[in-house]
Amino acid sequence: VNQSQAGGQGSKPGDFEAVRKSVIDLLKQPDYDDGSAGPVLVRLAWHSAGTYDVETDTGGSNGAGMRYEAEGGDPANAGLQNARLFLEPVKRQHPWITYSDLWTLAGVTAIRAMGGPEVSWRPGRTDYVDDSKLPPRGRLPDAAQGAAHIRAVFYRMGFGDREIVALSGAHNLGRCHAGNSGFEGKWVNNPTRFSNQYFRLLLSEEWTEKTVPESGALQFASVDPVTEEELMMLPTDIALTTDPEFAKYVRMYAEDKALFFEDFSRAFAKLMELGIRRDAEGRVTNTDNEKGGYRS
Ligand code: DDH
């Protein structure tokens, strides 16, 4: 297939607006989950970056390591192959973009398109040429655990408590799939609309323990009083209300959506940049990746 004819809309190297447009065009997926590819694209961006370790300066979105089995096949990344497949036609349309730029740009584009804040994003990531630089498995958070684990994981990335709670607000979006994680269900009624509803529900509902029949996983459940639909929270979500320091920020964001959007936007932008070194002009200077990828 002639790449420039695929979809009839190839773009010039560096035309990230054209890539954003292609991502927006694929968000509507009537046969997938709640009708949108948006939430799983956000999760792909987050998991691509959330392996970062400040101490060793390893992991992060640079490199697009999930293309390799060692990272892509991590049980923590189950289901994200859907997100990567959604983006393949975009990569074919804009072959000059690296996967690491595409995955992060798709995440911030989806957040905005679902009614969330604009998240500042910068290009220049390159893709690993082999799997020798991949971070070890086990760096992403385990939903069955509590506040101490959440802190250990996010402090390792260089985040503080307020940023942790802000980022957790991404659970306004999407759902759990027993086949991926053992957990099942959505956090809010409209999981394709970004809002602070997750924080409001954490505080307003009575959350009772429930075992997921398919997996035996323990999660929390509540029935929405308006729609009578069952909603869910992970043990790590509930930990944000039982830990006093986290709970302060949950209350703050439940009351002030604009503040949540502002903090989320800043924290997500920071997440996308973890481990990426830039010179004064903003050019990425990491040298451990493929040469010849697109550079701004
Ligand atoms: Fe999450 N998340 N996440 N999450 N997450 C899941 C789904 C989604 C944890 C566990 C899970 C963040 C933080 C945490 C999104 C975004 C973000 C699922 C369900 C589990 C389990 C996966 C499945 O079954 O398909 C845990 C634990 C944490 C933690 O902080 C302790 C953060 C920081 C983000 C972010 O984007 C900033 C999104 C979006 C989804 C929905 C995916 C989908 O397919 O829908």
Structural domains of the chain ordered from first start: 16-140+268-290 (1.10.520.10), 147-267 (1.10.420.10)
Query: Element (H or E) spanning 208, and its range?
Result: strand 208-211
66 CA → ligand 1 middle, Å: 16
CA nearest 45: which of 17, 87, 12?
87
- Whether residue 291 is predicted with pLDDT greater than 80 in this model: the reply is no
- The maximal CA–CA distance of the chain, rounded, in angstroms, is 58
Give the model's confidence band at 47: pLDDT under 50 very low, under 70 low, under 90 confident, else very high. very high
Distance of CA 2 to the CA centre of its chain: 32
Give the model's confidence band at 295: pLDDT under 50 very low, under 70 low, under 90 confident, else very high. very low
Whether 116 lines ligand 1, by a CB cut-off of 6 Å, is: no
64 within 8 A of 34, measured Cβ to Cβ = no
Number of residues that make up the chain? 296
18 CA → ligand 1 middle, Å: 28
- Whether residue 125 is predicted with pLDDT greater than 60 in this model: the reply is yes
Handedness of CA 16, 33, 117, 108 (dihedral sign): negative
CA distance 159 to 64: 21
Confidence (pLDDT) at 9: 63
Confidence (pLDDT) at 127: 95
Interface predicted TM-score (ipTM): 0.99
Give the model's confidence band at 288: pLDDT under 50 very low, under 70 low, under 90 confident, else very high. confident
Give the model's confidence band at 225: pLDDT under 50 very low, under 70 low, under 90 confident, else very high. confident
| Position 205, amino acid | E
Whether 219 lines ligand 1, by a CB cut-off of 6 Å, is: no
Residue 229 φ then ψ, to 5°: -85, 150
| Catalytic residue list contains 187 | yes
- Whether residue 5 is predicted with pLDDT greater than 70 in this model: the reply is no
What does the pLDDT look like over 67-115, one tens digit per residue?
999 999 999 999 999 999 999 999 999 999 999 999 999 999 999 999 9
| Catalytic residue list contains 47 | yes
- Whether residue 24 is predicted with pLDDT greater than 80 in this model: the reply is yes
Give the model's confidence band at 166: pLDDT under 50 very low, under 70 low, under 90 confident, else very high. very high
CA dihedral 288, 78, 30, 166 (to 10 degrees): -70
